[in-house]
Structure 1
Amino acid sequence: MNRESLIKKIFSKEKFLVGIFYVALVVAWQLLYWLGTVQFGWWKSYAFPSPLGVVESCKSLIEKGTLLQAFLYSIVRGAVGFGLSVVLGLMMGILLSLSEKIHHCLHPLLLGLQTLPSICWVPFAILWFGLDESAILFVVVMGSAFSVALSVRNGIRNVNPLWIKVARTMGADKKKLYTKVIIPAAMPEFMEGLRQGWSFAWRALMSGEVMSATVGLGHTLLVGRDLADINQVMLVMIVIVVIGIVIDRFVFGRIEDRMFRKRGL
């Protein structure tokens, strides 16, 4: 057996074990629901979700077209809001790197704003923009832009000083220094910051959609709460988690792997 086939066998075995784990987890969840609601009456059936109830809720929302519509609206909002966050964060990160004085003044402020929960921006969004798309995008941008800015600043700060000295010795001006040396060298850490920024943006999007009456996964979650449908609430939570994992693995993960292979890492 050659090396490639051995690696494939190992990975297939790992995937099989992962599949077994999640099947066992769902079975244990259904068993817990049955024991708690039917056998011992620890809680009411409407207060605790079950896998079968989540599947039925998923089937109902798919037949109505609600789930697909909410998914598409949330994905578009998330992509637009995250794109704006990347542009704003990139500008702020470069600004922080231009001067130590600017860094000392703004870095603590950005660090503090990054730790602020996204839900805190909701009142500002409502008062400034009303209950529309602009308010949701504002919450998303405020929830993730500072994380992106700090990752850009950290990436630039950790660039090997020798590379910068060599570029200056060869006559590179400030524009070429950033575009040809500093930003490419900071890309690995910048990519990690993008992944973190996306997670913040996705969470902020749910906070923004909960406050709005427009279509989206956050609003669908709120509707499930209003209808006391715990299975719909659980379904939307699972969908939100799965989307976050898929985007992290198949978008950012592949971009990061390609970048590392290109650099021989």
Structure 2
Amino acid sequence: MIWEVAYKVGVDILRIWKPYVFPSFFDVTRTLFGLISDNSLSIAVLASARRIFAGYLLSVALGLVIGLLVVRFKYLDENLSPIILGMQTLPSICWLPFAILWYGLNESAIIFVIAVGSTFAVAMSIESGIKNISPLYIRAAKTMGARGIKLYWNVTMPASLPSLIAGLKQGWSFAWRALMAGEMMSATKGLGQILMVGRDLADISQVMAVMIVIIVLGVTVDKLIFGRIERNVRQRWGLNKA
């Protein structure tokens, strides 16, 4: 209601902006139902979901390995940590020329951009989570005979889970940004392609409809997956508020 009132006041009464600059709620709703009725949205969501899950799972695996290696070896920590931070600040769209040259305009290029876009966020969360573990946990585990892999598996990794989950959520958001950048550069089906068509046709209602779909998908995944994991971890570690 606030959205539609703001549109009516800005366009019809005060004439501050044009209808193609900021759409009305009903125009966006009609466009959204139009995309649903002709199956364009369902096809795009399935295609984008397949790409983002493939790229994100790859980034989690790579980020986990990189983070553990950096923490384990002091030489890598001193030399790679600044590079990882710098790579994380680099926008995902900067990797598109490399992806196109190496893989061409296909699925592999988009998955590559997604993986690179979120790998370093996961790696940084692993590094930060492990480094901030209380030394008392490590000393207590060592006095009870925990060494090597057993120390990592039973003490280090569980203690770093809160930071790891935060990094996974951040990596998920970076993966979405990389996905949109990759899909908007190719003609393949996906949410990014629908977004690009709306931009090319100056159809701001379609652009806004796709943005709403992306927000809904992100919130849904957070509630169903990350939210549940986070609640379980906080409950196990006694971090929930009374």
Which amino acid in the other structure matches residue 100 of structure 1? Answer: K
Post-superposition offset of 1:32: 2.8
Which amino acid in the other structure matches residue 118 of structure 1? Answer: S
Post-superposition offset of 1:254: 1.1
Distance in 2 (CA, whole Å) between partners of 1:45 and 1:166 is 65
Distance in 1 (CA, whole Å) between partners of 2:24 and 2:49 is 27
Distance in 1 (CA, whole Å) between partners of 2:9 and 2:137 is 64
Who is 1:145 aligned against? 119
Gaps of 5+ in 1: 1-26
Matched, 1:225 2:199: yes
Q: How does 1:247-262 map to 2 (within 5 A)?
A: 247-262=221-236
Matched, 1:85 2:59: yes
How many matched pairs? 239
CA RMSD of aligned residues (A): 1.5
Who is 2:218 aligned against? 244
Post-superposition offset of 1:119: 1.0
Structure 1 or 2: more helix by fraction: 1
Who is 2:135 aligned against? 161
Matched, 1:30 2:4: yes
Matched, 1:120 2:69: no
Distance in 2 (CA, whole Å) between partners of 1:247 and 1:52 is 27
1:260–1:43 Cα change, 3 Å: closer
Q: Could you tell me the TM-score, scaled by structure 1's length?
A: 0.86
Distance in 1 (CA, whole Å) between partners of 2:156 and 2:22 is 52
Which amino acid in the other structure matches residue 131 of structure 2? Answer: R
Listed one character per residue, the Cα deviations across residues 186-213 of structure 1 (whole Å, up to 9, x for unaligned) are 1111111111111111111111111111
Q: Could you tell me the TM-score, scaled by structure 2's length?
A: 0.93
Q: 1:215 aligns with which of 169, 189, 200?
A: 189
Distance in 2 (CA, whole Å) between partners of 1:256 and 1:223 is 37
Post-superposition offset of 1:33: 2.2
Post-superposition offset of 1:40: 4.5
Gaps of 5+ in 2: none
Higher-Rg structure is: 1
Secondary structure in structure 1 of the residue aligned to 2:202: coil
Runs of 4 or more above 6 Å deviation: none
Listed one character per residue, the Cα deviations across residues 44-67 of structure 1 (whole Å, up to 9, x for unaligned) are 323331111001101111111001
Who is 1:10 aligned against? none
Q: 2:75 aligns with which of 94, 98, 101?
A: 101
